Structure 1
Amino acid sequence: MVDRALPKRCEACARPSSRCLCSTIPRLHSSTRMLIIQHPSERHHALNTARFLAAGLVNAELHVVEHIAPGSALYSQLADPARRTEVLFPGPGASSLARAADPREHQLVLLDGTWRKARKLLHLNPILAVLPQVALAAGLASRYRLRKAPAPGALSTIEAGVAALEVLEPDKSFQALLRPFDRLIEEQIASIGTELYRRNYLKPGSADSGSDR
């Protein structure tokens, strides 16, 4: 049996060292505190955009957990009345995400996982379920060109985080956070080949298809 060593991975971005994306990750400041709660099944997903978001935003934390134990540091942080905490999730009673005249620090929770796993996180954790839910404006389109969106307006975690921050802090730009995401998409397109990508993923007349605009 041949012993094949696994490729070394960058500890920061979790990518293979030969394809490290750390050079594309900025360090941006925001007034909004972002808590990213990642379902454990997403930890080793190839498109782990939650890690990129947490690495690029100074005022952000990534927690990989399914059950948030009462008394834990994360539980206390979510329940802290000194912060105005909301969950970015388009539930039936969600209000539109907007700036608010509230002197408390705004803490925005992002749930990283499939829609089913995100709903499971809410169901398993009453501390999340009781928090106000907010949603982004309808009609936003994902930049991830290699996947059909599971629902209209479905965005990756990093795209949702950037869109939310630019609503809450319109005087700043957070587009630089998307650089590692864009690079990852470019790498995936290169790996399948440009012609195959155009044939299987592009709609006629789209900007990347080579057709007239």
Structure 2
Amino acid sequence: MQGQSLKRVGSFHKRCHPVAISPLTAQRSILYQTQNTEMATQSKRRSMCPACSKPTRLCLCTRLKVPKLHNSIAVTILQHSLEKKHPLNSTRIASIALQNLSVIPVSDVNSQARFLIRRLFNSNLERSSSCEACDQHVVGFAVDKYGTVLSFQDVWMMENGSPPRCGFDRLLASREAVDDLGKGFVVKKLQTKPLRGGIGLEGMLRDQDEEEENEEFEIRVGAGSVLLFPSERAVRVEDLRGVEVRNLVVLDGTWSKAKRMYKENPWLKLLPHVKLDVLDGMSSLYGEVRHQPKEGYFSTIESIVYALKALGEKDDEDSKGGLDDLLDVFVSMVADQRRCKDERLRQANQTNFL
């Protein structure tokens, strides 16, 4: 039996003829195998840094000269929900570099959103935790996906017997309301979304117009908060009067996303608006890797650094690079992205050539 088996195997090999492979096919096969091997190796090695959310080999944390800067002026970043995972999102640098920082995810209003505002302090400047009245909402309004205010109500209107307001413009005309909210407030956003169809009979019988309301965020906006946004009412930092800035609010997203966030969150109008004093010819460090709408528009981290400097933020005595260190890290991150872009183009050209 063993001899017969060996004989059959031998006869099988005799019938097999080598297949002719062209040099071009062989070259493509080698390239394909090499790319698969590289991709498999990258997938195994592509561990992510939990702090800066970059691949470990491109980690930004080790590039900082000091672990954290103790910024005396707090920074609150309202980050568009689609911006977080962008490879060039610079908020990640602020997150690992600034100690006094809050990052709040903000999504677009797809149907309708409701906002509720309550005081942080009462009229006697007592903290809200010891003031029952501060737990009550003093402003409530709803907006649609275009940022149009659908309904609006506030306690100052009701107390004075004034006619219903059209929105924030009339509220801002009330000195009492502005002074009261200037002491600090808490804003809550409730996002309204249509209910998804359930499973089985329940889903079939559910009204298609039925909606549910979920809390998206609740933000504490302390006294001395200002918004960095180039609106028509924005003033240069140097021209800001009567405000001791303690908190800088920044919108993080592309210019179109930032404008939409501003429009869909009209409570931001309650804050003084500031803008950067841009020098002629001053451009973003983004360079050619990410398009800026026009000269004088900067990344989030650049805007934060320039604004904090203009507001008088001083570097720590223990810090080696201070705020400028953040810009150095940003430049290196942009360089990483440029190298990755060049590598992809080079690989694509090689593939097309073959």
TM-score bucket (shorter structure):
0.7 to 0.9
How do 1:143-154 and structure 2 match up within 5 A?
143-146=285-288, 147-154=290-297
CA shift for structure 1 position 98: 3.2
Question: Aligned pair 1:87/2:230, yes or no?
Answer: no
CA shift for structure 1 position 51: 1.6
In the alignment, is the contact (CA less than 8 A) between 2:52 and 2:59 conserved in 1? yes
CA shift for structure 1 position 9: 1.1
In the alignment, is the contact (CA less than 8 A) between 1:30 and 1:59 conserved in 2? yes
Aligned equivalents of 1:42 and 1:171: distance in 2? 29
Question: Aligned pair 1:186/2:335, yes or no?
Answer: yes
CA shift for structure 1 position 39: 0.2
Q: Secondary structure at the match of 1:42?
A: coil
Aligned equivalents of 1:8 and 1:133: distance in 2? 41
Q: Secondary structure at the match of 1:41?
A: coil
Counterpart residue identity of residue 167, structure 1 = A
Specify whether residues 163 and 91 from structure 1 end up closer, same or farther in structure 2 by C-alpha distance, changes over 3 A only.
same
In the alignment, is the contact (CA less than 8 A) between 1:31 and 1:105 conserved in 2? no
Aligned pair partner of 1:55 in 84, 96, 103:
96
Question: Aligned pair 1:10/2:150, yes or no?
Answer: no
In the alignment, is the contact (CA less than 8 A) between 2:71 and 2:313 conserved in 1? no
Aligned equivalents of 2:245 and 2:226: distance in 1? 11
- TM-score, normalised to structure 1, is 0.77
Specify whether residues 168 and 38 from structure 1 end up closer, same or farther in structure 2 by C-alpha distance, changes over 3 A only.
same
What is aligned with 1:206? none
In the alignment, is the contact (CA less than 8 A) between 1:13 and 1:20 conserved in 2? yes
CA shift for structure 1 position 191: 3.2
What is aligned with 1:110? 250
Q: Secondary structure at the match of 1:116?
A: helix
What is aligned with 1:119? 259
CA shift for structure 1 position 86: 1.1
CA shift for structure 1 position 19: 1.7
Specify whether residues 113 and 92 from structure 1 end up closer, same or farther in structure 2 by C-alpha distance, changes over 3 A only.
same
Question: Aligned pair 1:159/2:293, yes or no?
Answer: no
In the alignment, is the contact (CA less than 8 A) between 2:58 and 2:336 conserved in 1? no
Q: CA RMSD in A?
A: 3.0
1:93-114 alpha-carbon deviations (Å, 9 max, x no partner): 1111238676855111110001
Aligned equivalents of 2:234 and 2:245: distance in 1? 20
1:99-148 alpha-carbon deviations (Å, 9 max, x no partner): 86768551111100011111111111122233221100123321122234
Specify whether residues 181 and 76 from structure 1 end up closer, same or farther in structure 2 by C-alpha distance, changes over 3 A only.
closer
Moved more, 178-187 or 40-49: 178-187
Question: Aligned pair 1:132/2:132, yes or no?
Answer: no
Specify whether residues 184 and 77 from structure 1 end up closer, same or farther in structure 2 by C-alpha distance, changes over 3 A only.
same
What is aligned with 2:69? 28
Aligned equivalents of 2:306 and 2:84: distance in 1? 23
How do 1:71-86 and structure 2 match up within 5 A?
72=188, 75-78=218-221, 80=222, 83-86=223-226
Stretches of structure 2 that go unaligned for 5 or more consecutive residues are 1-35, 117-186, 190-216, 316-321, 346-354
In the alignment, is the contact (CA less than 8 A) between 1:95 and 1:133 conserved in 2? yes
In the alignment, is the contact (CA less than 8 A) between 2:69 and 2:97 conserved in 1? yes
Count of aligned pairs between the two proteins: 191
Q: Secondary structure at the match of 1:176?
A: helix
CA shift for structure 1 position 171: 4.3
Q: Secondary structure at the match of 2:246?
A: strand
Specify whether residues 76 and 143 from structure 1 end up closer, same or farther in structure 2 by C-alpha distance, changes over 3 A only.
closer
Aligned-pair identity (%): 31
In the alignment, is the contact (CA less than 8 A) between 1:99 and 1:167 conserved in 2? no
In the alignment, is the contact (CA less than 8 A) between 2:240 and 2:274 conserved in 1? no
